[in-house]
Amino acid sequence: MSLVRGRIAYKKTRTLAVESTVKTDKVVARNVQQDFTPSPSDATSSKGVDVPPTSPSKKRLFRLEMERVLHNLGPGFTTDAPLLHRAPEWQALVNFVDTCITTGQRKSMFVSGAPGSGKSALMKVMEQHVATAWTACKTSLQVINLNAMSLGDASSVYKAIAAQVTNKECSTAEQATEALSLAFKSTHTTTFLILDEIDVLLKGKGERDLYQLFEWAHHPFSSVIFVGIANSIDLTERCLPLLKSNDCKPVSVVFAPYSYDAICDILKQRVVVGSLTPKPVVDVMAMSYLARKIASTSGDIRTCLSICKASLLAHQANDCQIPVTLQDMLQVMKTNMNAPTPSHWQSLPRMTQ
């Protein structure tokens, strides 16, 4: 009798455990759905168009929505809204520019952070702010934005900067340095120089090529504002110890990797907001898993958008008329991130598996 009662008790306990797991999984699925639900203002401005499932119009609408999202996931995406989850960094950039304008001093800034943390994107927005804010200044403004890595080495970087500042070609780095030393003392024009991936300047002469740019910005008669962008957070402390002693220490702004919530909001902005169809072309569970995986590894939003775009392109190539599923996303992630798919399934809610 006791054995029978024990079995009955065990069955009841197991049943309650299963019911609890199902309820938990439903809550997880509901929370993920809420992560990718547009706000009332977004929903009002972009309601999905409900078309009968078998109509040719729905196929055309789905194809248009795929093209819209593919564009949004690429570098051509623009929005009037501020860069998501970068308000403190943006405020630091604005304060830096406003200080340079109000005090009349020309200084430098060091922007650092892991790849894909929004540094370059925010600097593009900064260019517009500088152009608008500078109208109150007496001197004219020249904005130059270059990528040091694409130019290859310090010599090419200096010659490229000199060509834009002086409108003259220099055959050697020495000539470029001499030309810039004179040009950056101009009383008529201020140069706002943005140089991305400045890590490349550590090659060759080492720190000297990098010192020069910061020193120009802190010269008493300087007419250049320099912003250096790098993936090395501790570059100024590790490679530029002389800047402190020479009173050339730049303002430092550090970009942290994107979190899960931030990545979800960015994906929602690119994929869900403004949708032409009742449901997003990428399933919310697929986007949520991608966001969680990226946040737990690198926080690189460029990798995230690239994988999301790859999953849509694969769907488009197969002429699929349904949203990208979680399984589709996992397959693309396996290819792009070398992620072993079976182990990832075990981390998902039971209902999703």
pLDDT for the residue 40: 55
Chain position carrying tokens 């600097």: 123
Strands 224-230 and 251-255 turn out to be: unpaired
pLDDT for the residue 350: 39
pLDDT for the residue 39: 61
Query: Looking at the chain, which residues constitute the CATH 1.10.8 domain(s)?
Result: 60-77+259-336
pLDDT for the residue 30: 54
The Cα–Cα gap between 126 and 93 comes to: 7
The terminus-to-terminus CA distance of the chain in angstroms comes to 39
pTM: 0.77
pLDDT for the residue 211: 85
Phi, psi dihedrals of residue 212, rounded to the nearest 5°: -60, -40
pLDDT along the chain (353 residues), means of 10: 50 50 46 63 45 66 94 89 90 94 88 92 90 86 93 91 94 93 90 91 73 89 93 73 75 94 97 94 96 96 96 90 93 77 40 38
What's domain 87-255's architecture?
3-Layer(aba) Sandwich (3.40)
pLDDT for the residue 147: 93
The Cα–Cα gap between 209 and 99 comes to: 26
In single-letter form, the type of residue at position 177 comes to T
With a CB cutoff of 8 Å and minimum separation 6, the contacts of 86 are 118, 122, 255
Query: Looking at the chain, which residues constitute the CATH 3.40.50.300 domain(s)?
Result: 87-255
pLDDT for the residue 266: 97
In single-letter form, the type of residue at position 42 comes to D
Q: Angle CA(245)–CA(247)–CA(250) in degrees, nearest 5?
A: 110
The Cα–Cα gap between 295 and 216 comes to: 38
Q: How many CB atoms lie within 10 A of CB 221?
A: 9
Instruction: Match domain 60-77+259-336 to its CATH number in 3.30.2310, 3.30.559, 1.20.1050, 1.10.8.
Output: 1.10.8
The Cα–Cα gap between 268 and 35 comes to: 8
